[in-house]
Structure formats: C-alpha cells, structure tokens
C-alpha cells in the first residue's frame, strides 16, 4: 500500500495535512498516537463506496506543523472543528482511535452541533490510563528510551505494548511502506505534545452526561486490561452507546482488522444517517 497523497490546509494558522475523498455522509477520522493508523480502514469498500471520508494529520504528525508543545486537547478540538468548517461540513460522523477518541469527545463537548454520531475506539481516557500501574510501567520504559535519544526504541516499546509483540509484521501487511520510520520520526510529538496534554485533560461522568449523540463503543478482542477498563468505563458513562468487541484486534484495531472495523462502522453509520441523506 502506498502512502496516500494529502493536501496542506491552513487551519488556525497552522498547516495540517488533509485527505478528503468520496461522497455520502461525511465521516471524520482522528488518529491517535500514530499518524498512519487510519489509512488501512480508509481503503475498505464498506466505507469508500458510501461515505465522504475525511482524515488529517494532527499537529506534529506527518507533515503537519506543530509550532509549540504540548498541544492541549481543546486546541486539537478547535483544529478539528475549523477543518470541518473549512470544508463546508456542518455535521458529520466522527471516529477516534485512542488519542483520537479523546479529541472527538472534546469536539462533542465544544461543538455538539457538528457531531451527528461518535465511534469511540478505546479512547485514551487519562482517568483510567494514568491510574494503571501496568500502563505506567510501559510509559516510563518507553519514556526513558526516548530521553536517551533512542526514538525508534521508544516507539518499538510503545508499539509492542499497545498493539502486541508482532505489530510490525502485521502493520507491514496493512499500512503504507515506511510506517514505522514515520512513527519514530514523530516521536517528539508523541512524548512532548500528546502525552503531556492527555495528562492534563479532565473528562469524567459529568462531562459524558452531556453527550447524547448516537455512540459506538468498540474494543479489540485481544486488547490490554486497561483498554478493557476504558471500554467498560465508556459503557457506564454512556449507557446509550452501542457496544462491540472487534475480533482479531488489539488496541490498534484499525491496523489489525481494518475490514472488520470498516464493516461495523459502516453498519453503525447506516443506522444513523444524517438528515436529508
């Protein structure tokens, strides 16, 4: 698979790489701690045949600019909102994996009028992750490798934890060539921009109660215990959500099982069409 061509777009004074293709209900994909993670699912016919697919590299990922760090979740939300308005989109479905799930939850709080539905793919809820000794140990190990100057080693440690020890071989089959090298090149964004911002983001039951849009809550069948805890937390905080366990997938579900993810997402969107579509 080749890396898709993305267009530079000025959003809030910062250049962000964007991808906009297809027709139908607009669906916005927001990636987490890997800029390439959405590309495989964006090639799946279940989505490409029926939807307008929008994807962008958040600040500091790929060729998108990042003038300062950390980048608050509120700023990430503002970027996402501005991109949609720049594209003339008044309402859309939103899909967020991991850190991308955090961003779309903030968009739902900041601009609920833009959000028709939400698909939450193990959103990186800090109230769960940063209270997990297991996740903390891996984050510390990866952080130490990064601080020593070994960015590739830090990404490898992190990737094995969240996606499984065989992640590289699996990703080679689903993601564009050079995905690991690009991931390692963006290590500064992960450790200096994203992780610090997540630790400062506050979202709990009270904020979740403000979200009334149709919601799909997905976890990977083979995901880690703290991501299972996140899935159960979302079930509790958003009792109206539809819940689904994606087979043959870890936390990196869009990379591990893009076909299965695309089919479940498409089914959800088709059940919650935008008015007039």
* Structure letter (DSSP) for residue 83: H
Mean pLDDT on 129-135: 94
User: Is the distance from CB of 32 to CB of 68 less than 8 angstroms?
Assistant: no
How far, in Å, are 6, 119, 179, 218, 274 from residue 241 at the CA level? 33, 9, 33, 10, 18
Residue 163: helix, strand or coil by DSSP?
helix
Whole-number Å distance between alpha carbons of 197 and 163: 22
Task: Kindly state the helix (H) or strand (E) to which residue 7 belongs, with its residue range.
Answer: strand 7-11
| CA end-to-end span of the chain | 32
User: Is the distance from CB of 136 to CB of 130 less than 8 angstroms?
Assistant: yes
Mean pLDDT on 110-135: 97
**Domains in the chain, start-ordered, CATH in brackets?**
7-271 (3.40.50.1820)
Of residues 166 and 156, more confidence is placed in 156
Mean pLDDT on 126-145: 95
pLDDT, tens digit, 9 for 90 and up, residues 159-206? 999 899 889 899 999 999 999 999 999 999 999 999 999 889 999 999
How many C-beta atoms lie closer than 10 Å to residue 225's C-beta? 10
Query: Residue 277 above 60 pLDDT?
Result: no
Whole-number Å distance between alpha carbons of 146 and 261: 31
Query: Residue 59 above 60 pLDDT?
Result: yes
Mean pLDDT on 243-252: 97
Q: How confident is the model at residue 69 (pLDDT cuts 50, 70, 90)?
A: confident
The overall longest dimension of the chain from CA atoms, in Å, is 55
| 151-176 residues labelled b (16+ CB within 10 A) or e (exposed) | bebbbbbbbebbbbeebeebbeebbe
Per the listing, tokens 């509120």 go with 74
Q: How confident is the model at residue 242 (pLDDT cuts 50, 70, 90)?
A: very high
Q: How confident is the model at residue 156 (pLDDT cuts 50, 70, 90)?
A: very high
pLDDT, tens digit, 9 for 90 and up, residues 197-225? 988 999 999 999 999 999 999 999 999 99
* Mean of all residue pLDDT scores within the chain: 96
Whole-number Å distance between alpha carbons of 68 and 2: 30
Residue 129: helix, strand or coil by DSSP?
helix
pLDDT of residue 1: 87
User: Is the distance from CB of 235 to CB of 17 less than 8 angstroms?
Assistant: no
Percentage of the residues of the chain whose pLDDT score is greater than 70: 99
- Sign of the C-alpha dihedral, residues 14, 61, 132, 220? positive
User: Is the distance from CB of 91 to CB of 102 less than 8 angstroms?
Assistant: no
Mean pLDDT on 62-71: 91
pLDDT, tens digit, 9 for 90 and up, residues 14-33? 999 999 999 999 999 999 99
pLDDT of residue 71: 92
Query: Residue 274 above 90 pLDDT?
Result: yes
Q: How confident is the model at residue 108 (pLDDT cuts 50, 70, 90)?
A: very high
pTM: 0.97
List beta partners, residue 52. Answer: 26
């Amino acid at each position: 698979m080749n890396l898709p061509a993305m267009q530079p777009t000025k959003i809030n004074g910062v250049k962000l790489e964007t991808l906009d293709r297809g027709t139908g209900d607009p669906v916005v994909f927001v990636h987490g701690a890997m800029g390439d993670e959405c590309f495989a699912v964006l090639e799946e016919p279940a989505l490409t045949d029926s939807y307008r697919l929008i994807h962008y590299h958040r600040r500091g990922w790929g060729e998108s600019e990042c003038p300062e760090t950390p980048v608050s979740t509120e700023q990430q939300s503002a970027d996402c909102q501005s991109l949609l308005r720049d594209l003339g989109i008044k309402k859309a479905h939103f899909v967020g994996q991991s850190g991308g799930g955090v961003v779309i939850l903030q968009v739902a709080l900041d601009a609920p009028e833009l959000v028709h539905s939400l698909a939450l793919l193990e959103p990186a809820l800090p109230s769960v992750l940063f209270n997990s000794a297991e996740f903390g140990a891996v984050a510390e190990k990866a952080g130490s490798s990064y601080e020593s100057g070994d960015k590739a080693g830090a990404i490898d440690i992190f990737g094995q934890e969240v996606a499984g020890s065989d992640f590289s071989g699996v990703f080679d089959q689903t993601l564009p060539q050079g995905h690991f090298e690009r991931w390692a090149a963006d290590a500064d964004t992960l450790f200096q921009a994203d992780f610090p911002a997540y630790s400062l983001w506050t979202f709990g039951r009270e904020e979740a109660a403000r979200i009334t849009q149709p919601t799909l809550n997905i976890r990977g069948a083979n995901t880690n215990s703290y991501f299972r805890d996140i899935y159960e937390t979302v079930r509790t905080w958003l009792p109206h959500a539809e819940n689904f366990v994606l087979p043959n997938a870890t936390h990196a579900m869009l990379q591990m099982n893009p076909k299965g993810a695309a089919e479940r997402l498409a089914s959800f969107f088709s059940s919650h069409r935008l008015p007039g579509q």
